[in-house]
Copies of this chain bind each other. A is one copy, B any other.
């Protein structure tokens, strides 16, 4: 019998509790022993809960209980989640988490403590919700040098773009719709400005490179500037626009990463990821391209990943899993100027001649007679800035995912 604790009884925490109750037979089979929740930590009271005796407001009850070997931290936020996790790892307990902000910010520290104490710090649920991605990337693709990761990592923005693409909604209407459906917060900034996706691509890039990729150094752009005209113009030429967390692993050991809306060919598997779903496309030097797809958020899907980590931690109570990275000794991020992307550009026809300014371009269908739309040859960010200024009348310039 393995006794575990849940810290935070919000959406994910109650999902973790529900799965442990609902699928107890399956979990016992997977872990080779029964799993039981002994504590639930929350500052709130739950007087009507069927197991209200499990609740505590004091993390020391968990830290000081030698029966507890695995704790799931599903509180969210940096503090006190960081302090609690640190104390738990230091006291020799494994911690599993869905907290992407904590993993992206303090992951290196916490993974180092876990290593020192020979316990596990696992975070399958921190990226892609219920989609298996951390373990597959780290273990199943371990024979590969990872070349590239491109992911739809945020369900809210994917829902908004999908509504624009499919139902001709404006960004504002689609956002209100997302809020009405519970897919977007009242303050949607963390999602629509790309900060959520930024934490997630930082985690994937750190894991793939083995060295922390500092999320604060990742150029992050949201979808607030994307218009219905952009989406229509892309669609008319068999492309879609998606918010992409992108990372490329250079031969010199540096990592380039960004979060930005990108133009995606409808032949690319990522283009078919609709609604609130997520997907991560990984390119390895041996395997080529693989993709992991599924629900990137939600109570039971996210809890499914947290509970899988609980089971794995129970199995590995005396052995550490190698899903980890270390702090970088020096700046390991590649500057944008070293990278080239093709650009999708929409501009007024009157202001200049695209071919004269950009050289070889691929013409796309414009959405009106007064505008031109095209895809450039690969350019650095600086080159694209210079040339778009030179052309004039540019409404949109976003990178193409190749």
Contacts and interface: CB of A to CB of B under 8 A. Distances in A.
A126 to B, nearest CB: 13
A152 B267 CA distance: 18
A266 to B, nearest CB: 9
A145 B304 CA distance: 11
Interface in A117-154: 124, 130-132, 135-136, 139-145
A382 to B, nearest CB: 33
Contact of A132 (B19, B140, B285): B140
Contacts of A292: 132, 136, 290-293
A322 interface: yes
Considering the complex of A and B, which 8 residue pairs feature the smallest CB-CB distances, nearest first? A132-B140, A290-B294, A143-B307, A132-B136, A30-B142, A130-B287, A286-B304, A287-B304
A286 B30 CA distance: 15
Interface string A283-305: 01111111111110010110111
Interface stretch (A21-29, A45-53, A76-84): A21-29
A62 interface: no
Contacts of A135: 135-136, 139-140
A319 B322 contact: no
Contacts of A274: 267
15 contacts: A19-B286, A23-B145, A29-B210, A132-B290, A135-B135, A139-B312, A141-B304, A142-B307, A142-B311, A143-B305, A143-B310, A269-B272, A286-B303, A289-B294, A319-B319
Contacts of A273: 269
Given A269-B272, A291-B294, A141 B145 contact: no
Contacts of A144: 23, 26, 304
A186 B272 CA distance: 35
B288 A294 contact: yes
Nearest to A30: B142
A140 B305 CA distance: 7
A128 to B, nearest CB: 9
Interface of A: 15, 19, 22-23, 26-27, 29-32, 124, 130-132, 135-136, 139-145, 210, 267, 269, 272-274, 284-295, 298, 300-301, 303-305, 307-308, 310-312, 315, 319, 322
Contacts of A285: 22-23
Contacts of A301: 286-288
Nearest to A129: B287
A136 B140 CA distance: 9
Contacts of A312: 139, 142
Given A23-B285, A290-B292, A293-B293, A308 B143 contact: yes
A315 B289 CA distance: 26
Contacts of A300: 286-288
A79 to B, nearest CB: 28
A372 B292 CA distance: 38
A370 to B, nearest CB: 34
A324 B132 CA distance: 19
Contacts of A140: 124, 132, 135-136, 305, 308
Contacts of A141: 132, 304, 308
Interface centre among A289, A292, A303, A310 (most CB of B within 10 A): A292
A22 B284 CA distance: 13
A64 to B, nearest CB: 28
A172 B299 CA distance: 49
Nearest to A271: B272
